């Protein structure tokens, strides 16, 4: 039996969701399975390639809905889970008991664990560490910005590696480890260990770059690092540097996209917050109420910059209103 698992690439929760799906499927659906893992990224244009859905079963975890009849499993928790109203309608009409959605969950990993336990009798205790840290990392449930930026825990170091890995087969090598191995042991695995020191040095450099580039005004931080190779920067650095801010808007660039990242300070005392997913959806992006992003084609740098500036102005105006 061949099962293809499509997951949110460069994301700790995405990788953990794929690992948990692997354990669940092997233990509660069938055990004679060969898994293949393919990472999905938010980018300008089409998100899915129908030709990739070649498994006898095809599962998507922690990523947008796909109406293809070849998709047999789907789990997601993002507020912006549906690309179109037609996709939402397709999901509502589904009767397979294999597709699940709840934007109320902080992480897809915990959501998947709950569904697997309640609907299929899976016992998630064996993956408690992965579930715990996926919830903290994807839900930004850190005690403070210092904890989030200093990254002392194995899960946080592993997140840094996941977000920076470039090899196409990295996820397929990591996910089986996440399904079976304590996180501290994964850090010393040959797949991970050689990457840590240079990434920690890069992390320290990114703090200094954002210190120089970021400006906080009317409760919103803005920074443009499109001339730096820092797309996978720690998203809590703006709040570490500017604890008084409510929102952050960052403009970054990689080999395949220009990205506008929009976030809210997890430790803000502000009680009335703008829904950032709704803002990002207007530009073709999405996410959660407290954090979102928009991907523009790599050639659309000025369009990305214009969108970022418009969002900054909107958020700063909301602080005055």
Residue extents of the structural domains in the chain: 2-187, 214-320
pTM of the predicted model, to two decimals? 0.84
Give 158-180 pLDDT, tens digit per residue. Answer: 999 999 898 989 999 999 999 99
CA dist., res. 242 & res. 2, Å (int): 49
Domain 214-320 indexed as CATH 3.10.310.30: yes
Over range 223-238, report the average pLDDT: 89
The yes-or-no answer to whether 2-187 and 214-320 have a common fold is no
Give 244-282 pLDDT, tens digit per residue. Answer: 999 999 999 988 899 999 999 999 988 789 999 999 999
Strand blocks (E) in the chain: 2-8, 34-40, 57-61, 73-76, 99-101, 215-217, 220-224, 247-253, 257-264, 286-287, 291-297
DSSP 125: G
CA dist., res. 121 & res. 321, Å (int): 50
Give 2-187's CATH code, choosing from 2.60.120, 3.30.160, 3.90.1720, 3.90.1640: 3.90.1640
Give 89-139 pLDDT, tens digit per residue. Answer: 999 999 999 999 999 999 999 999 999 999 999 999 999 999 999 999 999
The model's confidence at residue 321, banded by pLDDT at 50, 70 and 90, is low
Q: Which residues contact 118 (CB under 8 A, 6 or more apart)?
A: none
Percent of the chain past pLDDT 70, that is, above it, reads 99
Predicted confidence at residue 232, as pLDDT, reads 74
In contact, 132 and 7? CB cutoff 8 Å: no
pLDDT at residue 44 is higher than 70: no
């Amino acid at each position: 039996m061949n099962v293809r698992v499509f997951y949110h690439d460069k994301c700790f929760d995405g990788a953990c969701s794929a690992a948990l799906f692997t354990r669940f499927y092997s233990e509660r659906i069938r055990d004679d399975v060969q898994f293949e893992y393919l990472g999905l990224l938010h980018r300008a244009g089409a998100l899915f390639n129908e030709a990739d859905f070649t498994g006898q079963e095809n599962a998507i975890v922690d990523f947008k809905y796909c109406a293809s009849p070849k998709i047999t499993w789907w789990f997601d928790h993002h507020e912006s889970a549906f690309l179109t109203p037609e996709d939402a309608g397709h999901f509502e009409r589904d009767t397979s008991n294999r597709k699940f959605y709840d934007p109320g969950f902080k992480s897809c990993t915990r959501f998947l664990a709950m569904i697997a336990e309640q609907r299929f009798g899976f016992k998630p205790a064996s993956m408690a560490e992965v579930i715990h840290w996926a919830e903290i990392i994807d839900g930004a449930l850190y005690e403070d910005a210092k904890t989030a930026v200093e990254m002392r825990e194995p899960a946080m170091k592993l997140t840094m590696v996941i977000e920076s890995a470039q090899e196409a087969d990295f996820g397929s090598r990591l996910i089986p480890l996440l399904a079976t191995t304590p996180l501290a042991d994964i850090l010393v695995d040959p797949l991970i260990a050689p990457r840590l020191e240079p990434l920690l040095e890069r992390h320290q450099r990114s703090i200094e770059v954002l210190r120089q580039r970021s400006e906080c005004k009317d409760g919103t931080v803005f920074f443009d690092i499109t001339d730096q190779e820092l797309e996978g920067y720690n998203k809590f650095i703006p709040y570490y540097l500017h604890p008084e801010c409510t929102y952050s808007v960052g403009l970054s660039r990689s080999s395949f996209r220009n990205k506008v990242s929009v976030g809210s300070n997890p430790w803000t005392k502000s009680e009335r917050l703008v829904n950032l997913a709704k803002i990002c959806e207007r530009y073709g992006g999405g996410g959660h109420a407290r954090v979102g992003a928009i991907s523009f084609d790599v050639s659309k740098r000025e369009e990305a910059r214009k969108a970022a500036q418009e969002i900054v102005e909107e958020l700063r105006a909301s602080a005055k209103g």
